[in-house]
Structure 1
Amino acid sequence: MECRVCEQRQRQFYCADCLRIHLREFRNGMQHVAGERTAVVARAEELMKTVQPARLERAEAAGLEASISGAQTERDRIREDNERKRMRISHLRASIAARRQALTAARTQFPSQVQPQLAQQQSRSAKLAADLAQTRALLAHHLLGVFQIAAVRGEWTVGGLVLPVPGDMRRFPAEHINAALLHTLHFLRVLTYYLGVKLPFEVTHNAQQPWIRAGQGPEYGGWAKWVHKQPLFIRPSSSASPSSSSSSIAQHGGTRSMAPQESFTTGLTMLMYNVAYLAHTQGLEIGLAQAGEVLRNLWAICKSPNVGQRSHETRPTLPPPTPAQFTLDFGQLLQVTSAAPPPARKARRSSRVPVDDDDGWDFVENEE
């Protein structure tokens, strides 16, 4: 209320009796209103019971109308799509009929000219393939004489140097093995160039030393994952044997953390796998037991009656390396090569003495 003296609004005060009276009147009014509200709610519920079925029916009808409208729209769209497809089919049928007529006219007008030319071209192609295969075979035979690949006293040599099998490399110095491998790689490169065959593993030279790694290929044979370079040479300062690596390296494809001699064993296995695949392309199958005799396998390839008949560059073409028909697994070959038994250890002091026999002379061990 506003004070008559200071003209400021102040809080209005009531006595306890006035508050009780006001509260009583408020409660009575609330009870009266609550009763009226209950009556109105009950009446509304009674009215809703009569209206609710009609509302549900109208909602269901509206939903059905919406579904019908959507179905009609989809029907119109399908009809338009079908009409377009009918028109396209009619155009295709007309085009096919025109092409058939043209083909029939061509067959009736030029049979006497086309067939002889086609037969002549096929005959020329077959003759060219036969001449090419014969030329490749002659080049392969000539290559054996150029590189002097032959068996001398039970050991296979290239350029006069023995290339030992993996388990027999301790008998030769590192320089000898490196030279024999260089001759073998050169021979293999020229032979694959003559035959037109792509090998699974690619050989590169870095600092005048050969390295080998896997090219692109499928999962057949388990060789495509060996993408890191492996050496195809022995360091003269290394004292470990090339065949002393564990067979467990076959489970780790191309890791860079290998020891030098383990890497050489892996590289040598890659070379053996290349030779085995080359033999497969020329109609020869080489198993795990014969894969280590690299020079003997190369000699057998050059002497094969089917050499030069199939290639990656001419018809009939070969599938890319390596197909499913080539069953040699690189991991198994690596395990066999790594587990090759080393030769018997020599005595501390030994010398080689030539001994004459019927065929000439040979070296034998003389232990002191």
Structure 2
Amino acid sequence: MTVRTRQILVKEAASLFDLKPGVVEDADDDDDDPNISSGYPKDELNSAIGYTSQMLDLIVRYLGIKLPFCLFRKDIYTYIRSIPHSRLYQNQSKMPLYLENDKNFRRFLIGVSMLNYNIVYLCYTQGVHIPLSQVANTLQNLLACCNAPGLGL
């Protein structure tokens, strides 16, 4: 009964965020400016990462799983850091999960990598194998986890 309840909660969380399989469209070859299609506004990127971290937080709470990296919020910003005394990543500084400007770009990339590691770890706990080449597919991996046959076991 507990497993079924967990599955329902995770499915409902996925539906709240309208998480569904999609297709990444290639940029038009006729485009005069190749930079238009390759860049995303910071606000859209930050919103997507923010929603992803919120969804991940909900799912792990529903499933009762402790992640390798800790997500937390301060004001409107989301951060991630290693759990104290972790052997996985010794640096205890918080990494931003928002892109502010070029000054925090490197730390933002480290934060997103940590977020992806958390998602792949969650997938592992639910019996979903994510190949190394697919680790950066954040939402695809999260969806795979939400659709895992053994979700909540």
Assess same fold via TM > 0.5: yes
The residue aligned with 1:260 is: 104
Q: In the TM superposition, what whole-angstrom CA distance separates every residue of 1:191-242 from its partner, at most 9, and x where no partner exists? A: 11110001111112223111110004653xxx3313111110011xx2x4xx
Q: How many residues align?
A: 141
The residue aligned with 1:186 is: 54
Tell me, yes or no, if the aligned pair for 1:201 and 1:271 is still in contact at 8 Å.
Answer: yes
The residue aligned with 1:176 is: 44
The residue aligned with 1:225 is: 90
Tell me, yes or no, if the aligned pair for 1:200 and 1:217 is still in contact at 8 Å.
Answer: no
Please, what TM-score do these two structures have when normalized by structure 2?
0.85
**CA separation in 1, counterparts of 2:125 and 2:16?**
23
**CA separation in 1, counterparts of 2:119 and 2:139?**
9
SS of alignment partner, residue 211 of structure 1:
strand
Runs of 4+ in 1 over 6 A off after TM superposition: none
Letter in 1 for 2:19: I
Please, what TM-score do these two structures have when normalized by structure 1?
0.37
**CA separation in 2, counterparts of 1:224 and 1:198?**
16
**CA separation in 2, counterparts of 1:304 and 1:173?**
32
Tell me, yes or no, if the aligned pair for 1:282 and 1:307 is still in contact at 8 Å.
Answer: yes
Q: Percent identity?
A: 30
Give the alignment partner of residue 7 of structure 2, picking from 115, 120, 137.
137
Letter in 1 for 2:62: Y
Q: In the TM superposition, what whole-angstrom CA distance separates every residue of 1:70-109 from its partner, at most 9, and x where no partner exists? A: xxxxxxxxxxxxxxxxxxxxxxxxxxxxxxxxxxxxxxxx
The residue aligned with 2:139 is: 295
Greater relative CO, 1 or 2 (CA 8 Å, sep 6+): 2
**CA separation in 1, counterparts of 2:92 and 2:131?**
24
User: Is residue 283 from structure 1 mapped to residue 148 from structure 2 by the alignment?
Assistant: no
> Per-residue deviation at 1:188?
0.6
Higher helix share: 1
SS of alignment partner, residue 205 of structure 1:
strand
Tell me, yes or no, if the aligned pair for 2:21 and 2:143 is still in contact at 8 Å.
Answer: no
Q: In the TM superposition, what whole-angstrom CA distance separates every residue of 1:99-124 from its partner, at most 9, and x where no partner exists? A: xxxxxxxxxxxxxxxxxxxxxxxxxx
